[in-house]
Amino acid sequence: MTQSRAISRYAEAFFMFAKDEAFLDKAYSDAQRILEIFSGHRELTVFLKNPVIKADKKAAVIDKVFQKHVSSKTLAFMHLIVANSRENLLIEIFKQFNKLFFEHHHIVDAEIVTAVPIKEGTIENLKSFISKLSGYKQVELKNKVDEKIIGGFSLKYNDKLLDASVLHELDRIRKEISN
């Protein structure tokens, strides 16, 4: 089974389990917390992806790191993943689970990259714009600051990209001139 198929299957199975067991919102908050912990501890990711380390040691580390932060059902799911030697896919499985949660609740996940932080009022206007554009009721918008884009913005949601940055325009002009 390819990795992407395994990621989708595990994420879908966890989503269906959480939905059937009526702990979907808790499972989502668990997934958020898991991804947060992984992003702050690169060594944990390296440890879990190491094929030399035995599954029982990985399960013990998962218990120690996550037991106080996630529900017992989510922890049991993580143990299942380790038992099936798929721990290297944990991060991607929970990212995919979040996508399924957003689809279920008609939420679009969006990211806007700007050269400077955006004011709160502007963020609310952008959420309304993205909601109309995408057809989703709710928008989760993250503002990433990247001075390299010089000005303008780059907006990503679903599989779409709207790049209205100065950097993009300069690249386009550079390519036009070189051809």
Q: List Cα–Cα distances, 118 to 124, 129, 142, 143, in angstroms.
A: 10, 15, 10, 7
Q: What is the DSSP letter of 87?
A: G
- The torsion angles phi and psi of 162, rounded to 5 degrees, stand at -115, 105
The set of residues, in sequence order, having a beta carbon less than 8 Å from that of 56 and lying 6+ positions away, is: none
62 with 75: CB under 8 angstroms?
yes
10 with 86: CB under 8 angstroms?
yes
Full pLDDT tens readout for the chain, 179 residues: 578 899 999 999 999 999 999 999 999 999 999 999 999 899 999 999 998 999 999 999 999 999 999 999 999 999 999 999 999 999 999 999 999 999 999 999 999 999 999 998 999 999 999 999 888 889 999 999 999 999 999 999 888 899 999 999 999 999 999 87
